[in-house]
């Protein structure tokens, strides 16, 4: 291999095993040597203990993730054409897998698309970005205009690129928390269509980028069951599952969330579509308990879509207790032959742990779970088998007997 113009780091055997297994991160405690001048955000070459080249990536001494690999090809040079290829691959993939849902989908999903730490969601003619990688942040002046340009080639006009970098994790990367338009303009609201249903997306103030796109096909999967059933949608947030069930022809839909602000948006979304949903501001844990104690079996289909109960491996045990608690209460509340849709959006709560928790909850509730379907995130959030962290959403549909 010819001499390369980048600084070099040498890593431990443990780090080498991870990279040879195609995981894209080098942790700070895996670096044993640094050769050459380097600044945070620069490209660095990564070598084994025997000085064999393993890949190249973004360097950042602020971060526990000291290097995020961007290439394993020694012939790559990180010019504009490199980033254009990466972006084009990401967009072409969405064109192929999302079809008519392309107007509202995730265009870039970080490491799964070879663009570390970068998220880009499309809401019609607005792109909303989040970046938690120092190196990608330094290249946004190149990357964001390319996104707009490549979409324009495909006949898609974008009127604004809005940055939602109000993320606490950015401080661990040495990056400030900021929001605002990188390019273009907008009033912070855009109306999208999911499964034929209209939703108002507040991309200035809504959670994450403004709307959770990863559950779109899971919501549609509930339509056959929701029809003619009495539905309780727990942790409804802005009403996405509830409105899908109402559109599917549910006999009744009650949607519960502890946030009155979220419910105000959910009510607005229901009005947009002329759908009849009862919205209740309450703590889901308390509501399920009270309903069971009063023997109020008002529902024969319960949906559990809670926020992530764990965002680190250190809190998994507590999370398991939280997940078990709400699933147990839902199972006890449902009549025999009722239906349960339940999920977890934390990759730390692995599928194995989630299934084990469901078994335990069902045993304690003295019910049997008849699995109808097991699902994951929609394909615009592609799971890279080399990066377990990209496999985060577990979604199960059961009959409870």
Which CATH number covers residue 23? 2.30.130.10
Task: Output the average pLDDT for the chain.
Answer: 96
Number of domains in the chain: 3
Residue 71 has pLDDT above 80, yes or no: yes
**Boundary-marking domain end, from 38, 71, 104:** 71
**Boundary-marking domain end, from 191, 226, 253:** 191
261 and 294 belong to one structural domain? yes
Domain, as residue range, for 262? 214-400
63 and 96 belong to one structural domain? no
Cα distance between residue 347 and residue 384, in whole Å: 13
345 flagged as catalytic: yes
40 and 94 belong to one structural domain? no
> Phi and psi at residue 290, in whole multiples of 5°?
-65, -40
53 and 128 belong to one structural domain? no
The band of 347, judged by pLDDT with boundaries at 50, 70 and 90, is confident
Cα distance between residue 165 and residue 168, in whole Å: 9
Of the given ranges (89-103, 208-222, 287-301, 307-321), which has the lowest mean pLDDT?
307-321
The band of 2, judged by pLDDT with boundaries at 50, 70 and 90, is low
Assign residue 246 the CATH number of its domain. Answer: 3.40.50.150
Residue 1 is assigned to a structural domain of this protein? no
From the candidates 104, 133, 234, 345, which is the catalytic residue?
345
40 and 91 belong to one structural domain? no
Give the alpha-carbon dihedral of 72, 348, 97, 120, to 10 degrees.
Answer: -80
Task: Kindly state the helix (H) or strand (E) to which residue 373 belongs, with its residue range.
Answer: strand 369-375
Query: Once rounded to an integer, what is the mean pLDDT over residues 275-299?
Result: 91
pLDDT digits (tens, 9 = 90+) for 301-313: 999 999 887 677 7
| DSSP category for residue 203 | T
31 and 55 belong to one structural domain? yes
Residue 202 is assigned to a structural domain of this protein? no
Query: Once rounded to an integer, what is the mean pLDDT over residues 241-260?
Result: 98
pLDDT digits (tens, 9 = 90+) for 115-130: 999 999 999 999 999 9
Query: Once rounded to an integer, what is the mean pLDDT over residues 256-276?
Result: 97
The band of 393, judged by pLDDT with boundaries at 50, 70 and 90, is very high
Q: Which residue has the tokens 């799964």?
A: 112
pLDDT at 184 (0 to 100): 97
255 and 340 belong to one structural domain? yes
Percentage of the chain lying above the pLDDT 70 cut:
99
Sheet of strand 252-257, all strands in order from the earlier edge strand to the far edge: 278-281, 252-257, 230-234, 301-304, 338-344, 394-400, 369-375
Query: Once rounded to an integer, what is the mean pLDDT over residues 193-212?
Result: 96
The residue ranking higher by pLDDT, 304 or 315, is 304
Residue 322 is assigned to a structural domain of this protein? yes
Instruction: Report strand pairing: 301-304 vs 278-281.
Output: unpaired
Question: DSSP characters for 92-119?
Answer: HHHHHHHGGGTTEEEEEEGGGGT-TTEE
246 and 393 belong to one structural domain? yes
Query: Once rounded to an integer, what is the mean pLDDT over residues 231-249?
Result: 98
Task: Kindly state the helix (H) or strand (E) to which residue 371 belongs, with its residue range.
Answer: strand 369-375
369 and 249 belong to one structural domain? yes
Task: Kindly state the helix (H) or strand (E) to which residue 328 belongs, with its residue range.
Answer: helix 316-333
Cα distance between residue 97 and residue 386, in whole Å: 20
**Boundary-marking domain end, from 54, 71, 88:** 71
∠ CA 141-145-150, rounded to 5° = 145
Cα distance between residue 265 and residue 210, in whole Å: 12
Assign residue 152 the CATH number of its domain. Answer: 3.30.750.80
pLDDT at 313 (0 to 100): 73
219 and 291 belong to one structural domain? yes
Query: Once rounded to an integer, what is the mean pLDDT over residues 44-70?
Result: 97
183 and 116 belong to one structural domain? yes
Residue 325 is assigned to a structural domain of this protein? yes
Residue 206 is assigned to a structural domain of this protein? no
Surface-to-core class of residue 156, CB atoms within 10 Å of its CB (0-12 exposed, 13-18 middle, 19+ buried): middle
Give the three-class secondary structure for 218: helix
pLDDT at 178 (0 to 100): 97
pTM: 0.95
Residue 198 is assigned to a structural domain of this protein? no
The band of 159, judged by pLDDT with boundaries at 50, 70 and 90, is very high
262 and 379 belong to one structural domain? yes
The band of 338, judged by pLDDT with boundaries at 50, 70 and 90, is very high
């Amino acid at each position: 291999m010819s001499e390369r113009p980048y600084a070099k780091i040498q890593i431990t055997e443990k780090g080498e095993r991870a990279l040879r297994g195609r995981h894209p991160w080098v942790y700070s405690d895996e670096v044993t040597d640094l050769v050459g001048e380097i600044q945070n955000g620069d490209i660095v070459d990564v070598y084994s203990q025997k000085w064999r080249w393993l890949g190249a990536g973004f360097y950042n001494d602020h971060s526990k993730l000291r290097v995020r690999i961007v290439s394993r090809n020694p012939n790559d040079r990180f010019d504009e054409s490199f980033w254009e290829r990466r972006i084009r691959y990401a967009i072409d993939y969405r064109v192929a897998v999302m079809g008519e849902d392309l107007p509202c989908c995730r265009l870039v999903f970080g490491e799964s698309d070879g663009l570390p730490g970068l998220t880009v969601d499309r809401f019609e003619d607005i792109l909303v970005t989040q970046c938690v990688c120092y190196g990608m942040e330094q290249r946004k002046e190149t990357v964001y205009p390319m996104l707009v340009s490549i979409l324009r080639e495909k006949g898609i006009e974008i009127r604004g690129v809005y940055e939602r970098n109000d993320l606490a994790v950015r401080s661990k990367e040495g990056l400030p928390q900021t929001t605002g338009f990188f390019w273009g303009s907008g009033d912070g609201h855009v109306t999208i269509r999911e499964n034929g249903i209209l939703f108002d997306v507040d991309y200035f103030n809504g959670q994450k980028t403004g709307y959770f796109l990863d559950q779109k096909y899971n919501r549609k999967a509930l339509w056959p069951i929701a029809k003619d059933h009495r539905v309780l949608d727990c942790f409804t947030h802005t009403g996405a599952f509830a409105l899908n069930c109402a559109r599917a022809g549910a006999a009744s839909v009650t949607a519960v969330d502890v946030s009155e602000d979220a419910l105000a948006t959910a009510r607005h979304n229901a009005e947009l579509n002329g759908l009849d949903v009862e919205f209740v501001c309450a703590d889901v844990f308390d509501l399920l308990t009270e309903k069971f104690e009063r023997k109020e079996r008002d529902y024969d289909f319960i949906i559990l879509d809670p926020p992530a109960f764990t965002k680190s491996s250190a809190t998994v045990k507590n999370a398991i207790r939280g997940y078990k608690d709400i699933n147990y209460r839902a199972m006890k509340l449902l009549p025999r032959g009722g239906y349960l849709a339940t999920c977890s959006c934390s990759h730390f709560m692995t599928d194995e742990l989630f299934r084990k928790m469901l078994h335990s909850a069902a045993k304690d509730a003295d019910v049997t779970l008849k699995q109808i379907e097991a699902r994951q995130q929609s394909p615009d959030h592609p799971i890279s088998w080399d990066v377990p962290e990209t496999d985060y959403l577990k979604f199960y549909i059961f009959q409870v007997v």
